Amino acid sequence: MPRRRLPLVLIAAVLAATGCGGGTADDPDTISVAYHRYGNSTQVDALMQRVKQQYEQANPGKHVSLDPVVAPEGEYLSKLQLRMRSAKTAPDVLYEDSFTVNSDVAAGYLAPLDERLADWADWDHFIDTTKQAGRATDGRTYGIPLDTDTRGIWFNRDLFTRAGLPADWAPDGWDDVLAAARQVKQRFPDVIGLDLPLGKAEGEAVTMQTVLMLLHGTETGSLHDGRWIAPNAGFTEAMRFLSTAVGEGLTQSRAQIADAQYDKKLRDDLTRQGKVAMRLDGSFASGQWESAGWRDWAETMSAAPMPTRDGGGTVSTSGGWTLAMSASGGKQDDAFEFLTIALSRDNITEYALSSGNLPSREDSAADPRLTAANPLAGFWLGLLEGTHYRPTLPEYPKISEEIQQSVLDVAGGADPEQVSQRWTEQVRRIAGPDETRGG
């Protein structure tokens, strides 16, 4: 798709809104690097500061202009895409969410990396599964994974044993998950039996961490297999599960679901206080607890794989962030060298240790410091085998928004079948009837 040209007035507005003034586009010796920085999440900033120093020491006369975008994650992605529309404001290197790779490729924002990766020996050290994160539907790679994650069920071992459940609990089907939540609620009525992303403020996590973790465990098993699957029997089954869990009061309350701050701090506070029995969540949760000062979480928390609906198998989903290069950048050799330094074994290992995320490289994953810092690192890494990635097609962000609205409707008491039917209509409207099929 050709790059759309913006009117000069709008470009000026973009420059003002994003804080880009003179920029580095005309400086042949300086590359710009844009990334996300918000709240207490400063690990990416620390990584970029370190890599800037390493790059400039290795390349005398060359410079890096760091460009942290301070905004919530959704706003970061919007601001980044505004910048990418003009060669004057596009960064040379960008921190790119894997689920926006295809839409940014379709818009002509990202440079393919395949020829450069073929000559970079370190590429062989990246975990094969994680390489999918930066690969677009045209088969080319546009982003190199910085980290990855997996998802499963965190559970409070102490609450479980006091409620009569095994400390090495391993559910075999959705019924086991609901039964455990009911047993804990019966013993401890003020405890959340099963916490999972459900609120509007949780955005993409509702799709990826809640609905896809259920949908992938059904017979349908997918949102997209060449065409979007709508109507989707697995989607309806996921809505039924959520309707049951919320309707029986097994999840966080409807007031907590509606609370925009619940996801920011309260969920972790309640977990630390022993008020949450299970969390359908990511491997990164322990990193958040560490950052909040809960150093001895491993004395209380355990984890189990999310089972398929009828048991006999397990499910996980993965995402992660990549580093990519702008298609319009005139200093791509310098930009790629920055990438290779940023994604060295040592830098990825240090980033994984500080963030709690899983490393994207095999040699980093084998570093004994990782398992020493997180006793469950091996468990979460093991879920990478057979994990699912989102269908990050250009239509996906809009379809994901419709999934999130469906969950809100079900959590509000709407009939799961009717919600699923409405979602089907929206998918067919977004993708077009020729790009959908029933399943």
Alpha-carbon torsion 332, 132, 380, 345, what sign? negative
Find how far residue 208's CA is from the centre of its chain: 8
User: From CA 63, how far away is CA 226, in angstroms rounded?
Assistant: 44
Strands in 202-308 per DSSP E: 228-229, 278-282, 301-304, 306-307
Query: Is 34 within 8 Å of 83 (Cβ atoms)?
Result: yes
Pairing of strands 228-229, 436-437: parallel
The per-residue pLDDT string of the chain (439 residues; one tens digit each, 9 = 90 and over) reads 333 444 444 444 444 444 444 468 789 999 999 999 876 568 899 999 999 999 999 999 999 999 999 887 778 888 898 999 999 999 999 999 888 898 899 999 999 999 999 999 999 999 998 998 899 989 999 999 999 999 999 999 999 999 999 999 999 999 999 999 999 999 999 999 999 999 988 888 999 999 999 999 999 999 999 999 999 999 999 999 999 999 999 999 999 999 988 987 899 999 999 999 999 999 989 888 887 889 999 999 999 999 999 999 999 999 889 999 999 988 999 999 999 999 999 999 999 988 888 999 999 999 999 988 889 999 999 999 889 988 878 898 899 999 999 999 999 999 999 999 999 999 999 999 999 999 9
User: From CA 76, how far away is CA 219, in angstroms rounded?
Assistant: 36
User: From CA 222, how far away is CA 234, in angstroms rounded?
Assistant: 8
